[in-house]
Every structure is written in structure tokens, then in C-alpha cells.
Structure 1
Amino acid sequence: MRLDLDAVSVALGGRPILDDVSLTVHSGQFVALAGPNGSGKSTLLRTIYRARRPDSGTVRLDGHDLWAVPAAETARHIGVLMQEQHTGFEFTVAETVALGRTPHLGLFDRFTRADHAAIDDAVERTGLTAFLRRRVGELSGGERQRVLLARALAQQPRLLVLDEPTNHLDLRHQLDLLELVRDLNVTVVAALHSLDLAATYADTVAVLQDGRLVAHGRPLDVLTPETIGEVFGVDATVHHDAGSARFVLRPQCVCPDERCHWSCRTRVAEVSADAG
């Protein structure tokens, strides 16, 4: 599923949250949204999964205006994993994952063999087979995140929207989740705080700052020390290795001596000690 955002703007309480954002996500592409808190990432995702109608501009799925398509149809094609997503804690894992098939069912329809196959596949992919009888409220935050991902996968979406999907997950499960998502052969738009994960798993990275799209392209072309410094307000060193990148980040130095490379902090400490 191809996604096109054309001059999308959103304001809340008279304050601009998104400002004239245009972005194309090609079918099967994994695009990571990067940017500091308040840059508009979550709001942009909400315009994509139809939770917030843009004040101006259009969102198109395969060339069709999102808001001209019946909501039931878009629900069948767009899977969502939000940053803070609450579900019925009294439900079992099996019941929760099965909810992913709801958009495909009529009011009185029963699960078909295809529905059960989709649910079983989602459970297996997310490693939840041993958890099926447990109630969601008994699980850890990371385990609940995997349940919600399984629910989204059971939906068999063509477009998967993820808002900080690695929250609450330990390092191994962060990697497992993104490996899984990358191999789904669906279009993915994900907001990611970790630049390392964005550079490793995304085909392209879109960087937002103050509601505007300031950079978009291949991770190694976009996530440069200059862009990271300007957008995030940190000093960045980028190490390239076999086509991947590793980032070393520090608070920006305010010393007037541009050659100090943080040695000024040692000098300041020494001067303060001598003065004392």
C-alpha cells in the first residue's frame, strides 16, 4: 500500500502542530519518523490512521483520499500500535489477539478457517504461544506490547503504523520486534526515538522539527552530525561500518573554544577546584 501526504497541516488550540508536511511512502517501504518530543511525530501518525483529520492537505492510500474511503475499509488495511494503548486487562491473550480480526467480520459473522490461521500466525510470530490463557493484566509492559502487536498482525494490514513500538521492551525484544516488522512485506511508518534502530531497520528516515519535515532520505544521508545537532540539540559522532551507522551523542558543548572537544569541562573543573 502506497501512502502519500500532501501539504498536511494540523493545529491544536490555534497552535500549529504539523506545518505543510509532504511525504511519500512507497509500497513495502519502512519509513522511520525521527525528531524530538513535540516535533509532531505522533500527530502525523494520527492523520495516517484516521484519528485526526488534517486541517489542510490530504492523506492518500493507493491514490484514494483517506477521508473519502469508508472507515470500515481503512480499518481492514491499516494496523496500529500506539505508544500508550490500553486494552481490556481482564481479557486473555488469545481473546485480545483475536480482536484483530474484527474489521474483517460482519455483525453476526463467525471466525472462518482463514481467521483462525491469521490469529495463529500472529501468535507464533510474536512468540506468545505459551501466554494464550493468561490475562493481559498479568503481563509485564513488554509482554503486553507484544500482545498488541500480535493483535495488529492478526488484522493482516497492508499498512502498519507504529508509535514508539519498542517502548517497554528490553534490548533483545526491541530487535526481535523490528526484525519481525521489517520482514512482514507490508508498508511501515514508525516513530522511533532510537537513531540506531532507525538507521538499522528503516529504508528511509523522515526528520521532523517543530512540525515541519526538515530532512528525508536514506538513513546514512539524513542522520548526519549536522542534522542531529540542529534538530536534537546534541553533539553527535556518527561511526559508519559496512553500510550501517552507530551514534555517540552528548549534550552540546557551550565552550567558545571549538577545538576543545569537551576538554573544556575538565578545564572548568580544574579552575573551580583551584579557586576553591
Structure 2
Amino acid sequence: MEKKFENKVALITGAAAGIGKETALQFIQLGAKVIISDINETEGQKTTEEIKSMGGDAHFFRCDVAEAKEVFDLVDFTKKTYQRLDFAINNAGISGKLSPTINYPIEEYLKVIAINQNGVFYGMQAQLKTMLAQGNGCIVNIASVAGLRGMPMSSPYAASKHAVIGLTKSVALEMASKNIRVNAVCPVFTLTNMVENMFVDRPEFEEKLRLGIPMKRYGTVTDIANQIIWLCSDESSFITVTDIANQIIWLCSDESSFITGQSLTVDGGMMAG
């Protein structure tokens, strides 16, 4: 496999399992060095040791993204460990409870916003300082299709993901002339422990959502990781004929097998504003 990210450094939050872990494994296979971050220290350390057993270069840092100081400490740790930060994947998030808005617990609402929305803001603020100093970088925020439409029974989650998209577009415009790209990935429900736990008490809701997906299946962590990796690559960098061809080739590949019905812009950030 081509080591196209050799000597590059990726920081991934929520990387102990699921989408974050799969993304970390793909970065390692492509030659990158990876900082694994998660609030779950036990599972985060396991993922880090798994990567090291494969010959990969990785370090773990426990971080609660709802706490601004911890997020800034995480980025400082990355700089001290590898002296740079090329890719930042703000993936940590929670689904919250399934409940009508009228009965939604205020404490749970605040927790969802603190992790899903505030965590991305804190992350980008810290990451951008390092990327601006080195003159380049790429940030990928994990949003959701719930950030593009309403989501009954989970309005706080939908609100937090709408916010992630708004933050992404705004920061992309701020950084467009600074050689820093900022994008969001908006997965449909993906087969992770977080999603499975969300439906433990509401199996009928799970079936309704799954059948509402035209492909009649959920995304996999590999589907989402493939898109994250592509967004971090030079193949998605700007708008020459080669850039357009790169996107065409990727859309024709197995790596994009769960993407259909989309109009993907390649516009240097024009549509973000």
C-alpha cells in the first residue's frame, strides 16, 4: 500500500472504537503517525497497543472534549510528541437519549451540546493555532445527516450536528486563504456501539430508520473512514482538472460504495459562503 501520509501526523478524538479507531488504522496503513484520544482510557490504550503491535507509531492521550483545557492540552501533547499536526479529526460525540423534546432531560441536552458542539469548537480553536504556525493543515469534523435535516426524538443531537456543519463552513471560509482545509463528513447511522446502545430500548425506531435508507443498510465504520481519509489526501485539495478527475475516480471506487445521490462540490470553498 502506498505510504502517502508518511511522516504526517493525525490527531483523532473518539478514537478508542468505531469510526475513530477505523480511521486511525487507515492512517497508520498509509504511513501516518497517530495520536489516539478518547475519554475511555482502557479502550484507548488497547487501540494504541494494537496499532503498535502492527508496527505503527501511535500515542494515547485521555481527553474529555467537553473540557476546553483538556482539548488544548491534547493539542499541546501532539506538538510535543511529533512537533507538528497535519490532520485533525474531530470525531468524539454522543447520541444522547431518544425522547420527545417536551420531555427531554435538560442535563442530557447540555451534555450532548457540550461534547458534540463545544468539543468541535474547542478542537478547531486549538488545532488551528498549530496549523497556522506551520503553514498548512486539514481538519475533518464528524457531523451527521441529522445535521442536514430534522431528527424526531433526538432534537439535541440534530441541533449539535447542525452546529458542527455551521462551524465547519465558517472556519473553512476563515482559513481558505491560509492553506488549511476544513470539511465535515455527514454519516447516516453507522454500525457502532454508540448507535447500538441508542436503540436498546427502542428496536422499532431502529427498524424504521434502517428501512428509511434507500440502500436498506447502515453505513459501516470503513465507509466513513474511507471518506475521512480521502478528505485528508492531496486528491481532494483544490480545483484543477486533476482534482476533478481524482474525485471521479474515488466515486467510482469501492471506497465510496455507500455514497449515492450526492452532488459533491469541488469549488475551493465557494459554496461554504
Higher relative contact order (CA 8 A, sep 6+): 1
Q: Which has the higher strand share?
A: 1
TM-score, normalization by structure 1: 0.34
Greater Rg, structure 1 or structure 2?
A: 1
Q: Which has the higher helix share?
A: 2
TM-score, normalization by structure 2: 0.34
